[in-house]
Every structure is written in structure tokens, then in C-alpha cells.
Structure 1
Amino acid sequence: MIENIGFSELLMVGLVALLVIGPERLPKAARLLGFWISKTRNMVASVKEEIKEEFHAEEIRQMLKEQAGSLEDLQGVLDEMNSSTHDLKTSLDKLPQHVEQSIKSPHDK
């Protein structure tokens, strides 16, 4: 907003201020105006920083939520692998019995 004001506009505002406020009070009014402009800029910068931090925190929350979903998927795969491993172990444990029965069966006949 202030960037769009040219030198001629500033000169006009200065002349009007000089006529309205007067030469003895103009320096004090200019310092006060500068103080409030500085305060306003600092406040706006602070609000922008807070908003930026909040967006960053929200991005982190979203990423953690996505990673939690991925971890749940990974846990499901691990559970499935454990189940398959258990079934395979059970089958392998029964294999000697089947082999032994297969060996005995032809001799019994």
C-alpha cells in the first residue's frame, strides 16, 4: 500500500500536514506517526509468523497422521507374515509324522 505512494503525493501530504498541524507540532506528530507505523508493521509481522507456524504445525500433524496409517498397514503385513510363519512351522512340524506314516503304510500292506 505505501509502496504505491510517489514523491509528489508525499510532498502534498507534508504540505497539508504543515498547514493543518502547524510547524511547531509537526515534528512531534511525525515521530508519533512513525512510531505507530512501526508498531503496526511489527504486529503484522508477528501475526504472519504465527500463521506460518500454525500452518507448519498442521503440516506436521498431517504427515504424522499419514505415517500412522502407514505404520498400521505395516503392522497388518507383519501380523499376516507371523500367521503364515506359524502355519508353515506347524506344517513342518507335522511333516516327519506324514513321512513316517508314508514309509510305514507300504510295509503294512
Structure 2
Amino acid sequence: MFDFGFSELIVIAVVMLIVVGPERLPKVARTAGHLLGRLQRYVTDVKSDIQREMQLEDLKKLQQQVEQQARELESSVRSQMNSVEADLGKTAAEVQSSVAIAANESSAAAPVAVEQATTVPLAPAGGASETAALPANPAPVDGASAEPSPQLELGLGPAPSPGQTAEKV
């Protein structure tokens, strides 16, 4: 802004020496130096305040953008979660209906299957083929619990003993 050369500064110093005088010139120069230092610090502080305000404004804009993106992400995750839950609900309903249909079909065929599964052919020593009916729920042996085996829970029928074979249903 101000362009002072060395020769111009010499002219200003000579004028100051003549106007102020040699006795008060050092005091005036020191006071002028202090005032210029304060002015420079004030200008630096104003610049840094303006820069801080600009950075604060930029940070607020960035924070708003991040919040908006977080809201968008949350809404997209929720919508996808809702669609997955709906698909899962449909699948669960289909599985339940197919299980209900299978249960109805198996309950209609269960008496025949139980009757066929409990009839086990025995091979007598003479070679004649005979069948013996086994009870549907045998009594526990030696204090064992009468809980159904996993095969019974799955509806696969009782497990054949090693010397016996069950007829296929």
C-alpha cells in the first residue's frame, strides 16, 4: 500500500529531527515504535478473528452436511431393514403354511404309518415269516425315562433294533 524507499525514509528522519529536536527525538521514535507494534498486533488479531470466524462457519456447514448424510444413511438403513423384515415375514408365513400343510398330511397318514412301523417282521428259527405287533409306547426299562427319541420327534418312526427290520412306510 505504501511504498517507501530508503531515500524517502532519510528525508522523513531529517524533517523529524528538525521539527522535534534532538532531545525529544528518541522518545518520539520509541513511542512511534510502540504504537506501530500495537497497530500491527491489532491488525493481526483482527485477521485471526476473521479467519477463525470463517473456519467456524465452514465447520458448521460441514457439520450440517455430515448430519444430513447421517440422516439419509439412517433412513436408507431403516427402509432396507423394513423390506428385509417384510421379506422375512413372508418367508416365515410361507414356511408356517407349508409346515401346517405337511402336518395335516402327516396327521392323516400317521395312523397308517404308526401301524406299519410298529409291525416288525420276525424271523423264527424255523424259517417261517411272522409279524409281531410292537406297542406304540414301550415301557421304560431299568428306570430309564420314557422320553421320545429324536427320531420320533422328527416323525421318522422308531429305530429298528439290530436284529429286526422295519417295513418302509
Count of aligned positions:
102
Q: Which residue of 2 aligns with 1:34?
A: 33
Instruction: Letter of the 2:20 partner, please give it.
Output: I
Q: Which runs of 4+ in 1 moved over 3 A?
A: none
How big is each residue's C-alpha offset from its partner over 1:29-71, in whole Å with a ceiling of 9 and x where there is no partner?
1111001001100111111111111111111111110011101
Q: Any unmatched runs of 5+ in structure 1?
A: 105-109
Aligned equivalents of 2:27, 2:62: Cα separation in 1: 53
Q: Which residue of 1 aligns with 2:13?
A: 14
Aligned equivalents of 2:15, 2:41: Cα separation in 1: 28
Q: Which residue of 1 aligns with 2:79?
A: 80
Deviation for aligned residue 1:98: 5.0
**Structure number with larger C-alpha Rg:** 2
Q: Which residue of 2 aligns with 1:63?
A: 62
- What is the alpha-carbon root mean square deviation over aligned residues? 1.9
TM-score, L = length of structure 1: 0.84
Aligned equivalents of 1:36, 1:6: Cα separation in 2: 21
Instruction: Letter of the 2:92 partner, please give it.
Output: D
TM-score, L = length of structure 2: 0.56
Give identity over the alignment, percent: 27
Q: Which residue of 2 aligns with 1:91?
A: 90
> Higher strand proportion, which one?
2
Deviation for aligned residue 1:79: 1.3
Higher relative contact order structure (alpha carbons within 8 Å, sequence separation ≥ 6): 2
